[in-house]
């Protein structure tokens, strides 16, 4: 392979992966769809493997395509890094940064993070889209998605930011009125109101770690809601005992508004907050500075230890 033609083919493959289609890749690259298709075919012929699976509805990377795309992304990132250094683009952290974030994390934590980031990079204009679905970054013009998930495969790089636990908690007022349970088995429906997040139940049970083993307790929900923010507000209104993510609950725990129950019984779910982005775009100063900043900003948080 000649270096110039190889780089061009790598760029075409990366753009197909990022945009999810040959026509959309052609539009962004200023090429014709036939030229994009020819470039892809030549690359597949040279490698001797199928990189992209085409159907009438979608274009997806094959297993070989995903592996090769990850390597190509790193190569293109190195090339872009070299160009940035030569052009002194590292210092040009200005422009528009588009971020997607889940609603609960965005409402409870993102204001402080963005405020601190803007103090350091005042020339960056932040555009935030709060949405609980994992958006398609290429189709929706998103630079970075902040997501709490364990599904990190796919066309995106996933930078781990911090771990997040869930805790059982209630207000002191509720506990004074209904009694203070010492273990999950004390949560009888005749004694306590349970505020339940559906995704944290397994067959109508709460699952937790206790002395190195996994245990479950069947629960009867007094109130069920798919919003951890809403459950927090119900908890603060003394309506019952909830299992909440620490990034939502930590401020209220630290100021004494709610108390953590069963410190020896930890909710089994330990989730991870990731920053997701296209690896080939990481050397863009806007993306790089924000990902590096938020990871450093969250390095000392105790959401995984509460």
Number of Cβ within 10 Å of residue 220's Cβ equals: 13
**DSSP, res 93:** -
Distance of CA 119 to CAs 132, 284, 289, Å? Answer: 27, 20, 13
Q: Span 167-191, mean pLDDT? A: 92
**Chain segment 24-81, per-residue pLDDT in tens:** 888 989 999 899 889 999 988 888 899 988 876 778 889 988 888 888 888 887 777 6
Q: What is the dihedral of CA 8, 12, 17, 18, to 10 degrees?
A: 90
**Cβ 203 vs Cβ 79: under 8 Å:** no
**DSSP, res 190:** T
pLDDT, residue 89, reads 46
**Cβ 258 vs Cβ 248: under 8 Å:** no
pLDDT, residue 153, reads 65
How many whole angstroms separate alpha carbon 87 and alpha carbon 93?
A: 13
Backbone phi, psi, residue 289, to 5° = -65, -35
How many whole angstroms separate alpha carbon 65 and alpha carbon 18?
A: 13
pLDDT at 1 over 50: no
**Chain segment 232-270, per-residue pLDDT in tens:** 999 999 999 999 999 999 999 999 999 999 988 888 777
Backbone phi, psi, residue 84, to 5° = -60, -45
pLDDT, residue 99, reads 96
**Cβ 36 vs Cβ 156: under 8 Å:** no
**Chain segment 206-241, per-residue pLDDT in tens:** 888 888 888 888 888 999 999 999 999 999 999 999
| Alpha helices for 88-190 (secondary structure H) | 103-105, 111-120, 172-178
pLDDT at 171 over 80: yes
Query: Is the pTM value of this prediction over 0.85?
Result: no
At 42, list the tokens. Answer: 């030549």
**Cβ 285 vs Cβ 295: under 8 Å:** no
Burial class (CB in 10 A: 0-12, 13-18, 19+), 211: exposed
pLDDT at 200 over 70: yes
pLDDT, residue 4, reads 55
Q: Span 192-208, mean pLDDT? A: 88
pLDDT at 144 over 90: yes
146 pLDDT band, cuts 50/70/90, is very high
């Amino acid at each position: 392979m000649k270096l110039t033609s190889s780089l061009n083919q790598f760029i075409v493959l990366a753009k197909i992966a990022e945009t999810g289609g040959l026509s959309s890749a052609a539009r962004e690259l200023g090429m014709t769809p036939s030229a994009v298709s020819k470039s892809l075919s030549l690359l597949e012929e040279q490698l001797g493997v199928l990189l992209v699976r085409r159907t009438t509805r979608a274009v997806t990377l094959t297993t070989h395509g995903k592996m090769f795309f990850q390597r190509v992304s790193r190569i293109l990132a190195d090339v872009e890094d070299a160009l940035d250094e030569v052009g002194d683009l590292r210092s040009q952290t200005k422009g528009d940064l588009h971020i997607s974030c889940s609603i609960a994390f965005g409402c409870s934590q993102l204001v402080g993070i963005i405020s601190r980031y803007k103090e350091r990079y005042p020339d960056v204009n932040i555009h935030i889209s709060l949405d609980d679905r994992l958006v398609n970054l290429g189709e929706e013009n998103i630079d970075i998605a902040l997501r709490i998930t364990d599904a990190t495969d796919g066309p995106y790089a996933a930078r781990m930011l911090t771990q997040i636990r869930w805790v059982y908690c209630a207000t002191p007022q509720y506990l004074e009125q209904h009694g203070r349970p010492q273990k999950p088995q004390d949560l009888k429906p005749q004694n306590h109101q349970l505020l339940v997040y559906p995704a944290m139940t397994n067959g109508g049970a709460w699952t937790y770690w206790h002395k190195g083993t996994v245990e479950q307790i069947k629960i009867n929900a007094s109130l069920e809601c798919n919003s951890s923010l809403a459950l927090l507000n119900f908890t603060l209104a003394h309506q019952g005992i909830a299992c909440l993510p620490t990034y939502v609950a930590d401020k209220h725990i630290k100021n004494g508004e709610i108390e953590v129950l069963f410190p020896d019984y930890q909710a089994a779910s330990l989730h991870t907050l990731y920053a997701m982005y296209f690896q080939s775009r990481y050397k863009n100063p806007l993306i790089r500075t924000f990902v590096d900043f938020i990871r450093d900003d969250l390095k000392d948080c105790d959401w995984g230890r509460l």
